[in-house]
Amino acid sequence: MTAQSTQIHPATPAGAPHFHFQQGVLHAEGVSLEHLGKTLGTPLYVYSRAALATAFTSYLEAIGTHKVLVCYGMKANSNLAVLKEFARLGSGFDIVSGGELARVLAAGGNPAKIVFSGVGKQAWEMQAALEAGVKCFNVESVPELKRLSAVSTELGMTARVSLRVNPDVDAKTHPYISTGLKENKFGIAIEEAPAAYQLASSLPGIAVVGVDCHIGSQITEVAPYLDALDKLLKLIDELAGLGIELKHLDLGGGLGIRYDDETPLAPKILLDKVFAQLQARGYAHLELVLEPGRSLVGNAGVLLTTVQFLKHTEARNFAIVDAAMNDLMRPALYEAWHGVLPVVPHSSATTLYDVVGPVCESADWLARGRQLALNEGEIIAIESAGAYGFVMAGNYNSRPRPAEVMVDGDHYHVIRQRETFEDLIRGESCLP
């Protein structure tokens, strides 16, 4: 065991100004997280409505009067209440499945602001999206183009299409969340794009409207975006020579957030450079589409969990908590770093802990090697859990998924009930 003296609690958790300490207790806006955890039980996802709005507004301020549609990459957090907030703020949505389409429609999102991405769209998903009237399909391969043409022709409709090209750009992020490299499964190789566009223009039921790329997630540098943009603009030049005119350019690739000591890139820093490049190349008239997910929700949420046991072994000290890899998969899957904060810090004498869950896997950890002062029974917050947290949760070890709560000022709303044992076995049956 190692003990050292540290500041009992920071004034504001890293990168999340709507989570702060008030009289020694961590709050989301005006609501005590200790109160929430004790009242509603843990594990519990807690989001801040104001944090969602602030993040969205940082895009709007960066956009100013430019023609830009922000399509929230809803895979990051698709709770209906979250979608509704972004719909209210005027956001569009980037969807990747028929299920996500159904969620946007259920939340009252505008279908005319939906772009449909994903490498494996099925015919029924295409049909549902056509019938809903989505803005465009981001088509990722020639076979997909042909299927979409067949589906829309059959329905007597026209599918607006943007080809997702793979610009072969290194986003310098975790290999699992890099999407714009040649070896990734996404998009059409940029060299093959002109031929694919010519095919698209000739197919029935297809109207070519744009070009799209997505280079990866948790990006903290401008250069990969500008490289991708440069390649897309060269392609647009080439397409113009072939008589193919585009209306929009979708520059996908998610801005990073601060988990630990990253320096995130503000939307304004990126967009000023993008607008300048569009202007310089004579494409200021093109509508720009963005697909941010993580940067809109990541630091708007925490996962509350209660310390069950403190287990000291010869090699390690374990804080065994009631949240696990099934609730927050990012550490197990990407060795991702999430901050850990006791909700009511009580001591400055810390011990080096691995924070682990009850699941029967050694990969079941939430944080490793952290200096923490912990007592059994206390609630801790796993930070930056608003993106790719609940949405990636599962039921491994027959663990019901957590409840989700949205704080709004001094109030809170349960926006998803905790799963029950009945939920877990719904749809299962035994042989007669």
Q: Does 167 bind ligand LLP (CB under 6 A)?
A: no
Q: Does 113 bind ligand LLP (CB under 6 A)?
A: no
Dist. CA 411–CA 183, nearest whole Å:
47
By rule CB under 6 A, what count of residues binds ligand LLP? 21
**Quick one: which segment of 1-9, 40-48, 68-76, 377-385 binds ligand LLP (CB under 6 A)?**
68-76
DSSP state of 219: B
Q: Does 149 bind ligand LLP (CB under 6 A)?
A: no
Q: How far is the CB of 416 from ligand LLP (least distance, A)?
A: 19
Selected from 14, 155, 177, 265, the binder of ligand LLP by CB under 6 A is: 177
Q: Does 117 bind ligand LLP (CB under 6 A)?
A: yes
- Which run of H or of E encompasses 52? helix 49-63
Distance in Å from the first CA to the final CA of the chain = 55
And the tokens for 365?
């950890």
**Quick one: which segment of 129-137, 292-300, 302-310, 401-409 binds ligand LLP (CB under 6 A)?**
292-300
List the beta strands (DSSP E) in 49-158: 68-73, 92-95, 114-116, 136-139
**Quick one: which segment of 291-299, 304-312, 355-363, 395-403 binds ligand LLP (CB under 6 A)?**
291-299
Q: How far is the CB of 214 from ligand LLP (least distance, A)?
A: 4
Whether 360 is catalytic: yes
The sheet carrying 25-28 orders its strands as 19-22, 25-28, 31-32
Nearest CB to ligand LLP, comparing residues 98 and 205: 98
Residues numbered 395 to 414 that lie near ligand LLP (CB under 6 A) are none
Selected from 9, 231, 258, 294, the binder of ligand LLP by CB under 6 A is: 294
Nearest CB to ligand LLP, comparing residues 196 and 393: 393
Site string for ligand LLP, 194-233 (x = CB under 6 A): --------------------x--xx---------------
- DSSP of 3-18: --B--S--SS-TT-TT
Which among 71, 136, 213, 360 is annotated as catalytic? Answer: 360
- DSSP of 352-417: EEEEE-SSSSTT-EEEEEEEE---TT-EEEE-S-SSSSGGG---GGGPPPPEEEEEETTEEEEEEP
CA-to-CA dists, residue 321 to 306, 340, 350, angstroms: 5, 12, 17
The long-range contacts involving 262-268, CB below 8 angstroms and separated by at least 24 positions, are 262/220, 263/220, 264/15, 264/220, 264/295, 265/219, 265/220, 265/221, 265/222, 266/58, 266/62, 267/58, 267/59, 267/61, 267/62, 267/63, 267/292, 267/295, 268/58, 268/61, 268/62
Please name the residue that has the structure tokens 């029967």. 360
Q: Does 178 bind ligand LLP (CB under 6 A)?
A: no
Nearest CB to ligand LLP, comparing residues 121 and 214: 214
Nearest CB to ligand LLP, comparing residues 152 and 218: 218
Dist. CA 403–CA 42, nearest whole Å:
8
Q: Does 299 bind ligand LLP (CB under 6 A)?
A: no
Nearest CB to ligand LLP, comparing residues 184 and 351: 184
Nearest CB to ligand LLP, comparing residues 103 and 214: 214
Q: How far is the CB of 108 from ligand LLP (least distance, A)?
A: 21
Residues numbered 75 to 94 that lie near ligand LLP (CB under 6 A) are 75-76, 94
Q: How far is the CB of 296 from ligand LLP (least distance, A)?
A: 7
Q: 379 near 341, Cβ under 8 Å?
A: no
Dist. CA 180–CA 177, nearest whole Å:
9
Q: Does 100 bind ligand LLP (CB under 6 A)?
A: no
Selected from 295, 299, 317, 350, the binder of ligand LLP by CB under 6 A is: 295
Residues numbered 312 to 341 that lie near ligand LLP (CB under 6 A) are 330, 334
Selected from 98, 187, 254, 402, the binder of ligand LLP by CB under 6 A is: 254
> What residue number has its CB nearest to ligand LLP?
254
Amino acid of residue 245 = E
> Which residues partner with 319 through β-bridges?
310, 355
Name the 3-class secondary structure at 167: coil
- The residues assigned a catalytic role are 360
Q: Which residues bind ligand LLP (CB under 6 A)?
A: 73, 75-76, 94, 117, 177, 179, 214, 217-218, 252, 254, 291-295, 330, 334, 387-388
